[in-house]
């Protein structure tokens, strides 16, 4: 036996004339107890109005854009007599995630949520079924909600679906296919296709192989890694005087000490003090982990006629300044001659990118994945510095540290730079 029941907006507190932003059912639909019928939105939260019982929708009395208050007719529902509740449950708010149940129906079964096994959902012109709060939640995480598969009836997307999508995406992050999907998931506008000949004479120049490869890697790194860059300045007056003295003491065939060698030595000592900067993200059994490396292979950016390359000095912690300077020179020469092999450019744990020989006052270097940080250095300049009695000329070196915010936080980055600056300002500390 069944009866036709008018379903009205239940008690929604002090709210009146709330806009209907989505109607979730239509005539002929079967609805279960507690299944959302429509979504309302106040200035504070979005609210789903649940069905007070199971039945079949006979007619819907409202549409998107209507305004409703307590007692407004929503729809008529054909319900079994046994399913007619004594009282209607209150509205469920996504903002506070209330648990709703009536005294009579508190034992109604509900299946445990199972996150989607594969987050590959085709994007179509069909508008995803999700409340505004769920849409906002997806936007906050940078997720294209059209790619998420809803687990509720009719494909409606829940908060758990969003979280399941993110979890599966992180687990599969290592695979080439997933990297491609995540790039597409940014939902970027297509690159503009412009006929430049309309505006004047042009010349077409093919990109070098190095630029093609590095361009693709840099684009991936910049998009996939949440970069933050800290800046610092360090007084290297004494260190530069020491470097010049060492070069003057040597003969014509002696080692040429470079500032890069001192920077690498100081960077290694700082990495030893802050091991999270000498790490990489990985996963084990589907869970993200941090891989702390016990070796120190330091890459440095080398300028070549065909573009920048990054040769790597292995076991830099076991080498002195002279050996570091010699290896830097040899690798830079091989880079210019195009003779670097794969072994010369792999395995790096941290990179130093120095533009000191060219100029500039600062820049924000892009992290060389799978590393988690990179040090950028520009040209040192003489500046007047107050010593307590007078302004004196000092040689000031700008530093820029870009770091992966998934691994490092701002406080650690600031301490890393302070430690590095202290070593460069007084290199005797390297022996401590």
Question: Is residue 405 among the annotated active site residues?
Answer: yes
* Summary count for the chain: helices (H), strands (E): 8, 20
Asked if residue 169 lies in contact with residue 182, where contact means CB atoms within 8 angstroms, the answer is yes
Q: What secondary structure letter does DSSP report for 90?
A: P
Catalytic-labelled residue, pool 227, 297, 405, 419: 405
Q: How far is CA 165 from the centre of its chain?
A: 15
- Site of tokens 């995480």: 141
| Pairing between β-strand 350-354 and β-strand 298-300 as defined by DSSP bridges | parallel
Specify the 3-state DSSP secondary structure of 270. Answer: helix
Which two three-digit tokens encode residue 183?
Answer: 């790039």
Which two three-digit tokens encode residue 367?
Answer: 């992290």
Q: What is the b/e burial string over 281-294, where b = at least 16 CB atoms within 10 angstroms of the residue's CB?
A: beeeeeeeeeeeee
- Give the span between the Cα atoms of 310 and 289, in whole angstroms: 26
**Helix (H) or strand (E) run with residue 41 in it:** strand 36-41
* 370 prior amide bond cis, ω within 30: yes
Among candidates 148, 106, 17, 19, which has minimal Cα distance to 70?
17
- Site of tokens 């070593």: 423
| Pairing between β-strand 307-309 and β-strand 302-304 as defined by DSSP bridges | antiparallel
Residues identified as active-site: 405
């Amino acid at each position: 036996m069944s009866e036709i029941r008018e379903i009205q907006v239940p008690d929604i507190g002090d709210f009146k004339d709330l806009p209907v932003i989505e109607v979730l059912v239509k005539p002929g639909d079967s609805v279960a107890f507690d299944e959302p019928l429509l979504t309302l939105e106040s200035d504070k939260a979005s609210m789903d109005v649940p069905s007070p019982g199971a039945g079949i929708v006979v007619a819907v009395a409202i549409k998107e854009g209507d305004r409703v208050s307590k007692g407004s007719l929503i729809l008529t529902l054909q319900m079994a007599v046994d399913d007619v509740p004594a009282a209607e449950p209150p509205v469920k708010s996504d903002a506070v995630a209330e648990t709703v149940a009536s005294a009579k129906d508190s034992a109604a079964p509900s299946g445990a949520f199972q996150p989607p096994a594969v987050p590959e959902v085709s994007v179509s012109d069909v508008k995803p079924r999700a409340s505004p709060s769920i849409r906002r939640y997806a936007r906050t995480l940078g997720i294209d909600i059209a790619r998420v598969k809803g687990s509720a009836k009719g494909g409606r997307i829940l908060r758990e679906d969003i979280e399941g999508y993110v979890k599966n995406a992180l687990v599969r992050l290592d695979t080439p296919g997933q990297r491609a999907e995540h790039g597409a998931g940014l939902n970027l506008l297509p690159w503009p296709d412009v006929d430049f000949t309309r505006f004047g004479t042009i010349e077409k120049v093919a990109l070098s192989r190095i630029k093609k490869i590095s361009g693709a890697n840099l684009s991936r790194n910049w998009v996939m890694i949440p970069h933050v860059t800290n800046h610092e300045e360090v007084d290297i007056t004494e260190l530069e005087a020491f470097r010049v003295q060492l070069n003057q003491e040597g003969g014509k065939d002696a080692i040429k000490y470079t500032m890069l060698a001192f920077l690498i030595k100081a960077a290694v000592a700082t990495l030893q003090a802050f091991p999270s900067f000498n790490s990489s993200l990985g996963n084990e059994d589907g869970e993200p982990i941090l891989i702390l490396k016990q070796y120190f292979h330091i890459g440095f950016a080398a300028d070549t006629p065909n573009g920048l390359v990054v040769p790597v000095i292995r076991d830099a912690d076991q080498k002195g300044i002279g050996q570091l300077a010699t290896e830097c020179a040899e690798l830079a020469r091989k880079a210019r001659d195009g003779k670097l092999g794969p072994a010369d450019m792999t395995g790096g744990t941290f990179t130093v990118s120095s533009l000191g020989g060219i100029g500039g006052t600062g820049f924000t270097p892009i992290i060389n994945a799978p590393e988690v940080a990179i040090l950028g250095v520009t040209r040192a300049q003489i500046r007047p510095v107050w010593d307590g009695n007078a302004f004196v000329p000092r040689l000031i070196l700008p530093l820029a540290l870009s770091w992966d915010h998934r691994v490092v936080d701002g406080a650690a980055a600031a301490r890393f730079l302070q430690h590095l600056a202290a070593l460069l300002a007084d290199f005797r500390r390297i022996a401590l």
